[in-house]
Amino acid sequence: MEERKETLEESPWWAEGLAFECTGCGKCCLAREHYQYVYVNIHERRKLAQHLGLAVAAFTQKYTDLVDAGYRSLRFENGACIFLQDGLCQVHEAKPVQCATWPFWEENLESPEAWENEVADFSPGAGRGPLISAKEIRAAMKKTERAGDSK
């Protein structure tokens, strides 16, 4: 496992970058098999609460669920993030890091097959738009990891 991680960091299969463009379709906001959580740390909850004009405690109670070892996730209803309405994110300006960095998550980039199965087969933005550099992809992955380090 350690050898694989070292290879991924040095010269990943996506070293030349990946084309991706958000199409605003809202598909990334839908629950899919094991993807049904949008983790939100305390900093993100504060930002979202402020955006909605709520106290953090009120936001947390109304819009999140306690999951996985004390972490909080945005609530999902009817298979979608609670903030997805009419195909649009209602908190786009304050969206969590996990949303902002999708699809450049470590599990989506483990292999070309993972990218194909978890992103390209699902998102109309895969393979379209500008080439996202390996440097930008790594930055998104690190940002996601840092956000997940705090509750």
Q: Per-residue pLDDT tens for 3-37?
A: 445 444 578 999 999 999 999 899 999 998 777 89
Please check whether residue 136 is in contact with residue 109, taking contact to mean a CB–CB distance below 8 angstroms.
no
Of residues 2 and 145, more confidently modeled: 145
Question: Can you tell me the distance from the alpha carbon of 34 to that of 41, in angstroms, rounded to the nearest whole number?
Answer: 20
Nearest to 88 by CA among 41, 141, 26: 26
CA angle in degrees (0–180, nearest 5) for 123-126-131: 155
- Enter the pTM of the model: 0.86
Ordered DSSP codes for 94-143: G--HHHHHTT--GGGSSSHHHHIIIIITT-TTEEEEEEEPHHHHHHHHHH
30 bridge partner residues: 80
Cα torsion through 46, 52, 56, 59, rounded to 10: -120
Q: For the segment 94-140, what is each residue's pLDDT rounded down to a tens digit? A: 999 999 999 999 999 999 999 999 999 989 999 999 999 999 999 99
DSSP 11: S
Question: Can you tell me the distance from the alpha carbon of 43 to that of 70, in angstroms, rounded to the nearest whole number?
Answer: 15
